[in-house]
Amino acid sequence: MVNEEKKKESRIEIIKKLFNERVFYIGLIVLLLGLIMNPLSQIFIYKYFRDAPLLNDVLLNSLPFFPIPNSYNWVNFIALLIFGIYIFYKKPKSLPYFLLLFGIWNFIRAIFIVLTPFGNPSIFYNGNYSIITEKFEILRFGVYPSGHTGTTFLAFLLTADIRYKFILLLLTFVVALLLLLARGHYSIDIFSAIIFAYAIYCFGEKYLKNKFVVR
Side-chain-facing half-sphere of 9: CA atoms under 13 Å:
6
Within 10 A of 158 (CB to CB), how many other CB atoms are there? 25
pLDDT tens figures, 123-158: 666 544 444 444 555 556 678 999 999 999 999 999
- What is the pTM assigned to this prediction? 0.87
Cis peptide before 69 (omega within 30 of 0): no
Cα separation, 151 vs 138, in Å, equals 21
Q: Which of 41-55, 95-109, 177-191 has the highest mean pLDDT?
A: 95-109
The tally of domains found in the chain comes to 1
Of the candidates 202, 83, 208, 76, the residue with the CA atom closest to the CA atom of residue 150: 76
Give the pLDDT mean for 8-22.
Answer: 75
Give the pLDDT mean for 79-98.
Answer: 94
Q: At residue 164, what is the residue type?
A: Y
Quick one: pLDDT at residue 139? Answer: 57
Cα separation, 134 vs 103, in Å, equals 29
Q: Which residues 6+ apart lie within 8 Å of 76 measured at CB?
A: 148, 151, 152, 171, 175
pLDDT tens figures, 28-72: 999 999 999 988 998 888 788 777 777 888 898 888 888 877 889
**What are the angstrom distances between the C-alpha of 195 and each of 33, 51, 71, 202?**
22, 28, 23, 11
Residue pair 208/100 in contact by the 8 Å Cβ criterion: yes
Cα separation, 170 vs 10, in Å, equals 31
Comparing 6-15, 40-49, 55-64, 96-105, the range with the smallest average pLDDT is 6-15
Give the residue numbers spanning the domain of 29: 2-212
Split at pLDDT 50, 70, 90, the class of 205 is very high
Q: What is the DSSP letter of 49?
A: -
Quick one: pLDDT at residue 128? Answer: 42
